[in-house]
Chain A
Amino acid sequence: MNIAMMRNKTLVAGSGIILLFALIALLAPLVSPYDPAAINQEDLLLGPSPRHLFGTDSLGRDLLSRMIYGARISLSVGLVAVGIATLTGILLGSVAGFYGGLLDALIMRFVDVMLCFPSFFLLLAVVSVFDPSIFNIMCIIGFTSWMGPARLVRAEILSLKEREFIQAARAMGATNTRIISRHLLPNAAGPLLVNATLGISGAILLESGLSFLGLGVQPPVASWGNILIESKSTLGVAWWITVFPGCAILLTILGFNMLAEGLRSKNG
Chain B
Amino acid sequence: MAETEGVLTIRDLCLEFLSNARAKPVLQGVNLTLREKEVLVLAGESGSGKSITALSCTANLPRNAKVTAGSIIYRGQEVLKMREEELRGIRGAQIAYVFQEPAAYLNPLFTVGSQIAEAIIQHRSQPFGKALQIAEALLEQVRIPDPGRVLSSYPHQLSGGMNQRVFIAMSLALHPKVLIADEPTTSLDATAESQILKLFTDLMQEYHFSLLFITHNLSIAKRIADRVCIMFQGRVVEEGSWQEVSASPRHFHTRELMEAYEKIGRF
Q: Which residues of A contact B (CB under 8 A)?
A: 100, 163-165, 167-175, 178, 182-183, 186-187
Contact = CB atoms under 8 A, between A and B. Distances in A.
A2 to B, nearest CB: 27
Contacts of B87: 173
Interface of B: 58, 60, 63, 87-93, 96-97, 99, 101, 104-110, 118-119, 122-123, 167, 170-171
Given A164-B101, A178-B122, A182-B118, A171 B107 contact: no
The interface residues of chain A, by DSSP majority, are classed as: helix
Contacts, number: 60
Contacts of A168: 97, 99, 105-106, 167
- Which 9 pairs show the lowest CB-CB distances between chains A and B? A173-B91, A172-B92, A173-B92, A164-B104, A168-B105, A171-B97, A173-B88, A164-B105, A165-B107
Contact of B60 (A164, A170, A186): A170
Contact of B96 (A165, A169, A171): A171
Given A164-B101, A175-B88, A169 B107 contact: yes
Contacts of B171: 172
Given A172-B92, A173-B88, A173-B89, A187 B109 contact: yes
A99 B127 CA distance: 30
Contacts of B90: 173
A169 B194 CA distance: 27
A171 B106 contact: no
A12 to B, nearest CB: 25
A175 B108 CA distance: 19
A192 to B, nearest CB: 14
B152 to A, nearest CB: 17
Contacts of A164: 99, 101, 104-105
A175 B118 CA distance: 12
